[in-house]
Structure 1
Amino acid sequence: MDSPAVDDLLRGLAPQVVGVLTRRFGDFDAAEDAVQESLLDAAAQWPEEGVPDNPRGWLIQVASRRMTEQLRSEQARRRREERVATQAPADRRTAPPADEAHRADRDDTLVMLFLCCHPALTPASAIALTLRSVGGLTTAEIAKAFMVPEATMAQRISRAKQRIKASGIPFRMPAPEERARRLGSVLHVLYLIFNEGYASSVGSTLHRVELSREAIRLARMAHDLLPDDCEVAGLLALMLLTDARRPARTDAGGTPIPLAEQDRSRWDGTAVAEGVALITATLARGAVGPYQLQAAIAAVHDEATTAEETDWPQILALYGLLERMSDNPVVSLNRAVAAAMVHGAGTGLDMLKALDAGGRLAGHHRLVVARAHLLEMAGDRRAAIDDYREAASRTTSIPERDYLITRAARLAAADHPR
């Protein structure tokens, strides 16, 4: 098996093995560290020596051995320090329950998701911990994805694990009421991971494919385990429908291409079909949430064979529902753009002016980009050029900055043809 296939296998097994060791030894922090070491061993050995017949059992055995050695070393150190002549009572963590063999067959992936997305953690900490403990990424890989030093990311992950440990929450699926409260955090973290992968906020590339793919994998896993939850299905549909456009989002040099100008034949038709089928079935079941509405908007875009055929009145109506439900200024921003497509650029500009006055998007380059786009639609090229340049100075994404500068330059050249 080649290295990419091994990596995919390990990422799927990682949360299961962490779950087994956490239940066996009662220490999530140590279990997670031991599993990461076993994953590194497997990534080095399996491509050369072949995947074991029971890869999950191999990882459990190797990680368990590391934890046992660590616990014995820690106990020896404590005995030396305390100068205790007799051995202390055996730690319950070193004695697996009688039904451990049966319990080791459980898939604790969803438990791990809920644990790593605990509301006590900040979104940044929850993302990092989820990618490491559930996604199976190394600290170095996560640090590289978010362009921070590895030591910084290691501290972030360590603090997150310590906070979970201090909370004293047991390693099990939350009770129904608590699960319902915590599910929002789980979905929010997966949503943030996907967005950072699909449109990286910093750096020289627009996409971080490993993050968006990992978010889709985890969302699919959550949907498999919670098939009746409409918002889980909505989030998966949203990711599929959005990621389907990725092949057409940039040119050969990595410069972003606006949705209206993309070659739709390059969109992933299989992902579009799956996403549309998923959101169509989900919306028919009753209660509608924010992720379902966003997926429905994405489906309207994806089902249009050309930009001109986009059903903007339907998109505007969906954004209206979403705005009333979520009270998110970015949703209001998108609704203003949709209103401009239906009622004219002036309407959209008036809505953006009111949104800017509200201050919730103060300094946000997205509002300036939207205003520049609508000013261009309205024929006010000079004001559009100024806003494109201002937005370029505010964004931290190099591809987006280059695109905005180029857009301004093209408008300027059109104003002053040779």
Structure 2
Amino acid sequence: MRRTGTNERPVVRPVIKAELSEKNSKRRLIVVIVLILLATSAFTYGIVSYLGKESGWTTIVAKSASERNCSDEFVFQYCLGASGASATAEGKEIQLLYTDATVKAYQLFNTDETFDDVHNMAYLNQHPNEEVKVDDVLYQAFYLLEKSGNRSLYLGPVYEVYDGLFSCTEDYMTADYDPQQNDEVASFVEQVSAFSSNSDAIQIELLGNDKVKLKVSDEYLAFAKENEVTDYIDFYWMKNAFIIDYLADVMIQNNYTLGSISSYNGFVRNLDESENSYSYNLYDREENTIYGAGVMDYTGAKSIVYLRNYRMTEVDDQYFYEFENGEIRNAYLDAADGKSKTSLNNLVCYATDQTCTQILLHIMPVYISDSFDASALSAWVNEGIYSIYCADHTIFYNEDGLKIHDLYEKDGVTYTTSKF
């Protein structure tokens, strides 16, 4: 994605085409497109230090001397001084807010460790069937999931299985973790999915006043003990949608809206409500090739969600494994059966009046599916959610007047656009 100011438009970066070989495709893909991260999730301006520097677009970096935080999974860019305030003073204040927020988010959504006076995900997993008061950020995340009917939260033990798969470095190692290769693992995933799909077996009960109870049945507790299950619940790859909305809320509440926050795995909150023009790069995978298919323009504050079933950067290794033959396992698991599945290679959805979490919860049933239902995308237009997807070298979109340009055209491959 690239950004423009009021009076100028930066040059578009060259469209990227990445070839994946049949062998060692994972490593080669990293070499070719490691720089795509900033093109897809952040604005295409250079990273500069802002302390004592001139006004302008700057990357805000959490204070490294602070407690551990989740800022390494996000890019936060802000136009310092545009409000008329001192760029240096504004930068310091924004950095403090951003650092505190990323520390808090890191602790709340952490399933690996607990922290003093913080009732986070790890704490809840360690205290099933107990009433616990949690931070409102976590309470609201549970509320949104319950309201949507999405039960992916309860696939915690299955996510642990896939963590093992994604940590593999060679194909022969995957047989111990891949449900499609290992009957014992497949049986475990099937049993956990049966529990996770059943609200009588496991459920976050919302008790009001930020109090919750992780209700787990006796049968599931016995199963967990026998199978050494420790994480009943986990936001897993979804957590960055909830976190980015929290980070955006912090900035909006403090009147810092001349910027954008992006995550490496496809979530964007552009906070700028002005008429400044912005652009977002669109990518597509066709077999073993990733194309920079085109660029879309937009104005105003936007929430953007980009789901893809292939890896684009080295950071993606935590949620993908790519076999030497090009076959891919990813973290998009169906809550009904625990199986990795996607109906499209890539889907971009965006809205002005919806958060990333709200958009994500809309599109997950359509994207994490054995088959693609384009009619659902059309239905979301009534809720202000617009969609873009690619098929057969065509970029399909459904927002009237959307501008898509810089279409890929090289080596006999030409991308076109079509409104659906």
> Is the pair's TM-score, using the shorter chain for normalization, greater than 0.5?
no
Tell me the TM-score normalized by structure 1: 0.26
Structure whose alpha-carbon radius of gyration is higher: 1
Larger % of strand: which?
A: 2
**TM-score, structure 2 as length reference:** 0.26
Relative contact order, higher structure (CA 8 A, sep 6+): 2
